[in-house]
Every structure is written in structure tokens, then in C-alpha cells.
Amino acid sequence: MSANPLAVNLCGVPLRNPVLAASGTFGYGVEFASLLDLNALGGIIVKGLSREAIAGNPEPRLWETEGGMMNSVGLQNVGVRAFVAEKLPKLRDVQAPILANVFGYQMEDYVEVVRMLEDAEGLAGYELNVSCPNTKKGGIAFGADPCMLGEVVAAVRAVAKRPVMVKLSPNVASITPMAKAAEEHGADAISLINTVIGLAIDARTRRPRIGAGFGGVSGPAIKPIALRMVHEAWKAVQIPVVGLGGIATGEDAAEFLIAGATAVEVGTATFWDPTAPTRIASELGAFCRKQGLAHVSELTGTLRMP
């Protein structure tokens, strides 16, 4: 066991603590370098990368909800080539592992982005965002169809030498078949949950609060949903599970580990506290000490269901 009571191993990637900065809320990591010690993070999952740069959705893109936030940024990003040329070199001195979040509108997009990243130095692995519409098949989301999910995971697995984690959507009838499909087709880990589709309305104008109409709800309000799905996924697979969805404190993180997660990601909390990932890791360590635990892994999968 590591001398560091918070150190964990995520599908072969050593983390100094189990708290990672989630994709989409932490930029490319470098933007936060003046606000916290990037080396103290368990890991950084950079903003989602596509084959070409994407400008994103019309404004407004964010709306504060009761107990959370709604967003429809539209996966704005610089594109994989610019990331490799301009962003990744600035991350190579960061000691925390860097994972690239990857998305696409068709299977070939995922494969091509990962293929380009395979030639770049400084990455520890990939997180596949399978919640994007597949325009070749009528806009069906990869994350809502086990067969399509399996196809994209297998295709990426064929070109990726680094670990592949699959980020699952909560907008499904059951998370179990999605988790199993990811595992059976080569995923090294799964992460969940992504945002829950929602709608905010301005009653005076009778229009949506978000420029694109619908948006993804995140933050503390979705934590009970996330905990339930993490536990269900953990029971269904043998690969590591990474939990996210409303984590704002160290005790929140502990709850996800108890539900079955090996590690967690912190997203929305960084909007009001940019240091949230490192603060939460510190609070998690304090929680473990108060509980008399020698190592944080003693929490994982210890939920006592009736």
C-alpha cells in the first residue's frame, strides 16, 4: 500500500489523490495555474476535443438553477490539432496526469481524434464523451444505445495504446447495459454521470433561459441521481468506476467512493470555487482520518444497502 493514504491507481494511471478536475469546467488546465497548484490535483481531464474547432452554442450558455447550474456551451473547443500544438506543451511540466476528453458526431470522429493524440506526448489516457449526437444515424446519442456505444469503444480501443475511460450519459432508462457494453468492448474504466437534460423557462418572455433551448443540469441537485447510477454501474462491471455529479465537499467525494467509485471528478463546484478539486481532496483526507481509515480505498464499495 502506498505511503500516501490518498494515492490510488486508475486503470494503470497512478493518482496522488482520487479527485480529478472534470472536463468542461477546468478549461485546458493551464487557465487555472495561477489559482491553485496543478501538481496537487489527482488529475486533469481537459475540455472536450473534436477533429475541428467548434465555436459553440448561442448565448446565454449558463443559467444558475436551484441547487446547481444549467449549461449549453455546445462543446466549444480549439480542435485537436491546436490542442496538441498550443495547449499540451504547457501541461507537460504538470505532475498530475492529464487525460484528454474526446467527442465526435460519428464514430470516425472519435477514432481520428484519438489517433492524432496518440502521436502526442504528455497524456495519460482518454475519456470518451459518448453523449454527443450521431448525425449519421439520425441524431441518436451513442450513450443511449449499447450497440452503438460498443462500436465506438471498440473502434477507439483498436487505435489507443493509452487507457480509455468512457463517460456515460444519465439520460437513459438503465445505466447497467451501457456500463456493461463499455466494459465488454474494451473500456479500461467508466465515468458517470454526465449532465441531466433540462429546461429553464423565463415566464415573462415565455422563452428558454438558455440560448440553445435545452441544457445540461449539473451541481448538487443531481448528486442523488449520480450516486444511484454510480452504485448500479459498480455492481455491473469489474473495471474501475469514476463518479461525478454534484461533488462540492470531501464528504460528497466519500459518498461516491462508498457507492463504488475508485476516484471522482469535480466540475460545477469550480465555478464558485476554482480551488475546489484540491480543497475537496484535503477534506477527503481529513474525513478518512476522522473515520480511522488507513487508506482512502477502504471506502470504495462499502455501501450497506438494506
- CATH number listed for the domain at residues 8-58+76-199+217-299: 3.20.20.70
Locate 215 and state its grid cell: 441544457
Q: Is 132 a catalytic residue?
A: yes
User: What pLDDT, on a 0 to 100 scale, did the predictor assign at position 141?
Assistant: 76
Query: What is the spatial distance between Cα 182 and Cα 142, in angstroms, rounded to a whole number?
Result: 11
Sign of CA dihedral 252, 60, 131, 152: negative
From 11, 132, 147, 288, the catalytic residue: 132
Angle at CA of residue 184, ends 178 and 216, nearest 5°: 25
Q: Please give the chain's pLDDT, 306 residues, in tens.
A: 458 999 999 999 999 999 999 999 999 999 999 999 999 999 999 999 999 999 999 999 999 999 999 999 999 999 999 999 999 999 999 999 999 999 999 999 999 999 999 999 999 999 999 987 656 665 567 899 999 999 999 999 999 999 999 999 999 999 999 999 999 999 999 999 999 999 999 999 999 999 999 999 999 999 999 999 999 999 999 999 999 999 999 999 999 999 999 999 999 999 999 999 999 999 999 999 999 999 999 999 999 999
User: What pLDDT, on a 0 to 100 scale, did the predictor assign at position 38?
Assistant: 98
Cβ atoms of 113 and 48 closer than 8 Å: no
User: What pLDDT, on a 0 to 100 scale, did the predictor assign at position 1?
Assistant: 45
Run of H or E residues at 69: strand 68-71
User: What pLDDT, on a 0 to 100 scale, did the predictor assign at position 196?
Assistant: 95
Query: What is the spatial distance between Cα 2 and Cα 294, in angstroms, rounded to a whole number?
Result: 10
